[in-house]
Amino acid sequence: MTIAEPSLSAAYCGDVVCESVRGISTLTTLYSRSPLKLMSPDHIGRAARVVMSSFGGGLVAGDDVPVRVKVGADAACVLTTQSASKIYRSDGRHCSQSLTADIDDNGVLVVLPDPLCCYAGASYRQRQHFDLASPSSSLLWLDWLTSGRWAREERWEFESLSTRTDIHVDGRLRFRESLLLDDRDGAVDGPLRMGRFDCYAVLVMIGPAFAPLIDICEQTARAVPSGVRAQMLASTTRIEDGVVMRVLGPRVQVVQEFLRRVISRLADVLGEDPWARKW
């Protein structure tokens, strides 16, 4: 693995390049600077692993953390986090994080972070952009958030959360997701907003590597009881060569267990369960 020179990565807090070297997915570049810390544990399956962490345990007001990921042809990479991404109280400024990822032909990128946890008074902005070189490229992307430190009676008490994610395939926009939760628009825990739910997740699978998981995803969502008193809500939407799932649940643990069932065959794609070492 080559540690990138800071001059090559000056615009980024994190820079990752994963390439196929003699048929093995290898991190040829891994660079990070404060407040971000990137770690690369040994991988058992076919995918190289990158774990995102931070020196301060989370993001504080004024932090700006741009990350770039490049997955080469025939390579596979898993990007995850060490623990929940904590967003601390704002001092009037927001903190932000961005991810720009390029996936070459037959490349596979799996983005499986822990959930985002915004503390009371936090202000956070997130932007993510994925560029799949061709229909042979594959992406599994999960983004999820909690209501905050609900055990301390903080439920949806952050000031503002803004996220936007774009996925392009062969230069064409295939998927866009935007979310804005701002207390200036009314109580975030209001009945017409997040209400009684404490966890929200969006999962996207696109590309041939994840085709076997799409039917499982839809079947699992259909099995969730619906209704105004349902403990959890789940829905799926087909997109070209992929699927989008959205989940609302009462607690992280409930949503986590549901998601594990949805992507239970991910080990067939990667050669290992990417969550096995965490939960």
pLDDT digits (tens, 9 = 90+) for 9-51: 567 899 999 999 999 999 999 999 989 999 998 877 889 999 9
Cα angle 32, 33, 36 (rounded to 5 degrees) comes to 80
What is the structure's pLDDT at 6? 46
Domain boundaries, the chain: 6-196
Picking from 33, 1, 36, 6, the residue whose alpha carbon sits closest to that of residue 17 is 1
What is the structure's pLDDT at 234? 94
**Could you say which residues of the chain have pLDDT below 70?**
1-10, 228, 277-279
Question: How far apart are the C-alpha atoms of 48 and 65, rounded to whole Å?
Answer: 22
DSSP for 100-166, please give it.
EEEE-TT-EEEEEPPPEEEPTTBEEEEEEEEEESSTT-EEEEEEEEE-S-GGGT-SS--SEEEEEEE
Question: How far apart are the C-alpha atoms of 196 and 48, rounded to whole Å?
Answer: 38
User: Chain-centre distance of CA 254, in angstroms?
Assistant: 18
> C-alpha dihedral over 186, 191, 196, 202, to 10 degrees?
-80
What is the structure's pLDDT at 10? 61
SS3 94: coil
Question: How far apart are the C-alpha atoms of 167 and 101, rounded to whole Å?
Answer: 10
Which CA distances in Å does 230 have to 223, 233, 250, 259? 12, 7, 10, 17
For the chain, what percent of residues have pLDDT higher than 90?
67
User: Across the beta sheet with 95-103, what order do the strands follow?
Assistant: 24-32, 14-21, 64-71, 95-103, 123-132, 160-169, 172-182
What is the structure's pLDDT at 1? 52
Find where tokens 């407040």 sit: 35
Question: How far apart are the C-alpha atoms of 159 and 120, rounded to whole Å?
Answer: 7
